[in-house]
Structure 1
Amino acid sequence: MKQLRVIHPVSVLLRNKIKRRFTFLVLAIVLILSVGLGLLLYQPLMVASGFASKEICSGTFVSGLDPNQVYADMVQPEGAIGIISRLIHVSVDREEHEVTTTIAGLYKTRAIYGEGTGCVLVYEPEDISLVTAANTASPVGLSNQQAPEIAGPAVVEPKNEQLRAALDHAFAERDQPPYIRTQAIVVVKNGEIVAERYASGIGMDTQLLGFSATKSVTNALIGILVRQGKLNVDQFAPIAAWQNEKDPRHKITIDELLRQTSGLALKQTSSGFDPASRMVFLERDMAGFAENAKLVTTPGSKWAYTDGNYILLSRIIRDTVGGRASDVRQFAQHELFSPLGMNNVTLEFDATGTPNGAASMLASARDWARFGLLYLHDGMAGKERVLPEGWVAYSSSQTLNTGYGAGFWVNLPASGNAPYGLPWGMPHVPRDAFFAMGNMGQHIVIVPSQHLVVVRLGVAHHPDGLVAGADRLVAEVIAALEHEHN
């Protein structure tokens, strides 16, 4: 006979109690892990959402491009965004001039376009006032152009087949990702355009985002204020939060901000987890966030590239010229853009009216070339001095043992690599060259010994569109022009 096991009622109760506790424990662990993961991913997902809203807004309403193309070329290939692409929803409202992005129905961000101020991420109802003020403000007055015109109204075709081949090479596309996506090239020799080309949908007046090439524009605005006697690069940075002499940040100079040697804890990895990403895409007051960063190294002792230094310089510019976005617009237009003949340009702002002088100016390829000519011509626009004497030499002088100057990259030997594993310079280009450079392959290359400026703009995610591609392009252009001369 089969023997039956007798279970005491108390044992059943105890086992059920243990089972319930175990289930509760598992649920608690799952909940804790879910909350922890949510907190861990909150910042990078908000950064991804903000990046999509802001760049699609600028591409659509400033550049006049197809928002779907902007997403495909600029947003989706960045970092891990492609992995979560199916969870991203972007809404473009052309009537209200705004873009809204969510990820899995959450992590909502919103960017609004304003005439003259471009696109700004808004976080609170009052942030919209900046855009509203921009849309109702009178147009920024234009002063007389001082720099000679660089070309006529028609696209300038290459003067010889070798130069044409150089442009062909730069516009050649890969048959699979990552793509190169060259959008515009302008070559200026002896003050005149000798070749230019634009991708489909891009024209001579299309404003294209310079990303970190904007830092070089901030260098120019600081230089103008130095020429006017309102700032000095050796002075302690006039940041209100640092005025206590016991604060170790008190002695950070404008020069150290320009040279990326401030020592502030504003690490930039573009991963979404880093402080610099948070500053740009989660904080309505970018400079307010940056000025609260702690000091991690002695100012001037170590080079560390970060948008934070240039956001602080942007706040200094804003406060020096009047304190409002409209004051910055008037100043930049009257003192820099108009004398150079830069008529298709938009400098964008954060929600507090501070310009994003680290990474957010859009201009036509011709206007980026006009900006490069200012530095080729030692800070002169025609017969008018825009930058102080010696400013170009200062800006293109090497910082520590790096390939960086003071707002420009320099073509000098340096140890290690630049950020993101890029090479420091262009080995096939003359050593006296220096350049503005931005994410995805924005380059304004100035070669004094060749009386040359070469602009390459695009949305590259392959080395052939980044520094290596710019190196090859400029070298091929120089060879083509020398061949023509011979």
Structure 2
Amino acid sequence: MNRRFTLLVLAAVLALSACLGVVLYQPLMVASGFASKEICSGTFVSGLHPNGVYADMVKPEGAIGTISGLIHFDVDRDEREVTTSIAGLYRTQAVYGEGMGCMLVHRPEDADLAAAADFNFSVGLSHSQAPEIAGPAVVEPENEQLRAALDRAFAEREEPPYKRTQAIVVVKDGKIAAERYAEGVGVETQLLGFSATKSVTNALIGILVRQGKLSVDQPAPIAAWTNEKDPRHMITINELLRQTSGLALKQTSSGFDPASRMIFLERDMAGFAQEAKLVAAPGNQWAYTDGNYILLSRIIRDAVGGRASDVRQFVQRELLGPVGMKHVTLEFDATGTPNGAMSMLASARDWARFGLLYLNDGMAGNDRILPAGWVKYSSSQTLDTGYGAGFWINLAASGNAPYGLPWGMPHVPRDAFFAMGNMGQHIVIVPSQHLVVVRLGMSHHPEGLIAGADRLVADVIAALEHDSKKTEAFKRK
């Protein structure tokens, strides 16, 4: 689509919106904010080229491609910030801070928060108790069938939408059996998990439950809901985890929806979410939204001290350190609340280490990180959906998950459960196979989304079983 035609389309849309009284400010600001934030994270956390991040992650999302000729972004490497505008308007800015990633700037003073002492903390507050999964070198598959499985997952389409696979890590019996990375990505490259971050929030809540600071059955400790006449005061932590809170925080990723506004336009994301009214009785209706996990993120922040630095030390000490996750960035809003709905970046190996924590029933080596029974709770079915409590489960269910995606992976064992994020982020845990498969990318085609993950994991299982049979046959000779 050429620039002139794009301008004509936008002019027509703006004229029509004026006639109909439709406000386009929010979706255009959301689009601008999405571009600023993700280009910033991709550039300064992942170390990717900003033009590639825009082309592969931002431009193909929703209707952004329609107005791409009007979008301008500027990357200031000295100040470590990204500024985006649309048609010279709808300006947003994201700023990077060492160790805390990128944050959208809503007030002039927010730009200073990235360098504030509140975000500084001592790295290495605890040592890993988990066995190492590989040496420093990339682990090449020894099995040709396994190599072929990775070849298929990385094979790119000749025309858009593309798969854009960035990383795959296969962990069998606690060791990496194979891994592969796209050009510009390596074993230490931190990649955005999008909503796979919700599964990390599940772990942080689990740790607080183990410590006796929270209970999943207690009413969510949200100050704005304490009045017993407020029907929201009975929403439990369990209902937030299971996406059954009943709150009016609809998520369509259209830019018009309240969840998009919360993430990209609000300085205090949890403050916005806690004002949502009930549209269904808590526990009775499943509705996927980042809002529930932003509220859980605020609960975590308040339970560990109330500041971003408290959160970061808690996460390092209680989760990252013991599990051995070395290359991780959890991002925050300007109030010090982590974006536990969609903004953790980690290396593919670290996402695999996180999967191993759940494969090993919440244990890291000999240390219990998650409460006994937490993994079973997290992977148990919510109502009649394919969702558990922060994880997707591999049970057949009617209907579709959000955005028309199927609930599960039909060619993968039923006991599998997985963390899943936008654009094809998958951390698949298969207990019956002692297996974790991580697939990360910037995908906009089904072959790179859940259908592709289904085939990848099925191919990996078949390859490993083939290798095992060959080994057994050799031993019998």
Provide the TM-score with structure 2 as the length reference: 0.94
Q: Which residue of 2 aligns with 1:172?
A: 155
Q: Which residue of 1 aligns with 2:215?
A: 232
Distance 1:31 1:326, change over 3 A: closer
Q: Tell me the alpha carbon deviations over residues 299-319 of structure 1, each in whole angstroms, 9 at most, x when there is no partner.
A: 000000000000000000000
- Of 263, 286, 295 in structure 1, the residue corresponding to residue 269 of structure 2 is 286
Distance 2:201 2:126 in 1: 20
> Number of aligned pairs?
457
Distance 2:136 2:350 in 1: 14
Aligned residues of 1:141 and 1:330 also touching (Cα < 8 A): no
The answer to whether structure 1 residue 198 and structure 2 residue 173 are counterparts is no
Q: Which segments of structure 1 move beyond 2 Å, counting only runs of 4 or more? A: 30-39, 134-142
Identity of aligned residues (%): 82
5 Å-filtered alignment, 1:98-117, equals 98-117=81-100
Q: Which residue of 2 aligns with 1:130?
A: 113
Distance 1:51 1:400 in 2: 32
**CA apart distance, 1:134:** 5.3
- Of 245, 250, 255 in structure 1, the residue corresponding to residue 238 of structure 2 is 255
Distance 2:389 2:342 in 1: 15
Instruction: Name the aligned partner's letter for residue 366 of structure 1.
Output: R
| Secondary structure class of the residue paired with 1:58 | helix
The answer to whether structure 1 residue 352 and structure 2 residue 325 are counterparts is no
- Of 20, 35, 49 in structure 2, the residue corresponding to residue 52 of structure 1 is 35
Distance 2:105 2:457 in 1: 40
**CA apart distance, 1:126:** 2.2
- Of 115, 122, 131 in structure 2, the residue corresponding to residue 139 of structure 1 is 122
Q: Tell me the alpha carbon deviations over residues 410-451 of structure 1, each in whole angstroms, 9 at most, x when there is no partner.
A: 001111000000000000000000000000000000000000
Q: Which residue of 1 aligns with 2:361?
A: 378
- Of 423, 429, 435 in structure 1, the residue corresponding to residue 418 of structure 2 is 435
Distance 2:123 2:387 in 1: 34
Compute the RMSD of aligned alpha carbons.
Answer: 1.4
| Secondary structure class of the residue paired with 1:229 | coil
Q: Which residue of 2 aligns with 1:21?
A: none
**CA apart distance, 1:136:** 7.5
| Secondary structure class of the residue paired with 1:71 | helix
| Secondary structure class of the residue paired with 1:40 | coil
Aligned residues of 1:114 and 1:134 also touching (Cα < 8 A): no
Distance 1:31 1:435, change over 3 A: closer
Q: Which residue of 2 aligns with 1:331?
A: 314
Distance 1:138 1:392, change over 3 A: closer
Q: Which residue of 2 aligns with 1:7?
A: none
Distance 2:61 2:310 in 1: 34
Q: Which residue of 2 aligns with 1:467?
A: 450
Distance 1:472 1:237, change over 3 A: same
Distance 1:192 1:38, change over 3 A: farther
Aligned residues of 1:403 and 1:413 also touching (Cα < 8 A): yes
5 Å-filtered alignment, 1:251-330, equals 251-330=234-313
Distance 1:434 1:136, change over 3 A: closer
Aligned residues of 1:410 and 1:425 also touching (Cα < 8 A): yes
Distance 1:236 1:349 in 2: 25
Distance 1:99 1:362, change over 3 A: same
**CA apart distance, 1:39:** 5.7
Aligned residues of 1:186 and 1:365 also touching (Cα < 8 A): yes
| Secondary structure class of the residue paired with 1:443 | strand
Aligned residues of 1:188 and 1:195 also touching (Cα < 8 A): yes
- Of 133, 141, 160 in structure 1, the residue corresponding to residue 143 of structure 2 is 160
The answer to whether structure 1 residue 90 and structure 2 residue 41 are counterparts is no
Aligned residues of 1:268 and 1:306 also touching (Cα < 8 A): yes
Distance 2:411 2:91 in 1: 46
Distance 1:39 1:146, change over 3 A: same
Distance 2:36 2:126 in 1: 34
**CA apart distance, 1:74:** 0.1
Aligned residues of 1:411 and 1:426 also touching (Cα < 8 A): yes
| Secondary structure class of the residue paired with 2:24 | helix
Aligned residues of 1:127 and 1:352 also touching (Cα < 8 A): no
Q: Tell me the alpha carbon deviations over residues 311-354 of structure 1, each in whole angstroms, 9 at most, x when there is no partner.
A: 00000000000000000000000000010110100000011110
Aligned residues of 2:121 and 2:313 also touching (Cα < 8 A): no
**CA apart distance, 1:32:** 9.1
- Of 63, 69, 73 in structure 1, the residue corresponding to residue 46 of structure 2 is 63
Instruction: Name the aligned partner's letter for residue 358 of structure 1.
Output: A
The answer to whether structure 1 residue 450 and structure 2 residue 449 are counterparts is no
5+ unaligned residues in a row in structure 2: which ranges?
1-12, 470-477
Instruction: Name the aligned partner's letter for residue 210 of structure 1.
Output: G
Q: Tell me the alpha carbon deviations over residues 260-291 of structure 1, each in whole angstroms, 9 at most, x when there is no partner.
A: 00000000000000000000000000000000
Distance 1:318 1:482 in 2: 44
Distance 2:447 2:15 in 1: 45
Q: Tell me the alpha carbon deviations over residues 16-73 of structure 1, each in whole angstroms, 9 at most, x when there is no partner.
A: xxxxxxxxxxxxxx99966567861100000000000000000000000000000000
**CA apart distance, 1:135:** 8.8
Distance 1:70 1:447 in 2: 31
Aligned residues of 1:116 and 1:134 also touching (Cα < 8 A): no
**CA apart distance, 1:96:** 0.2
Distance 1:410 1:31 in 2: 43
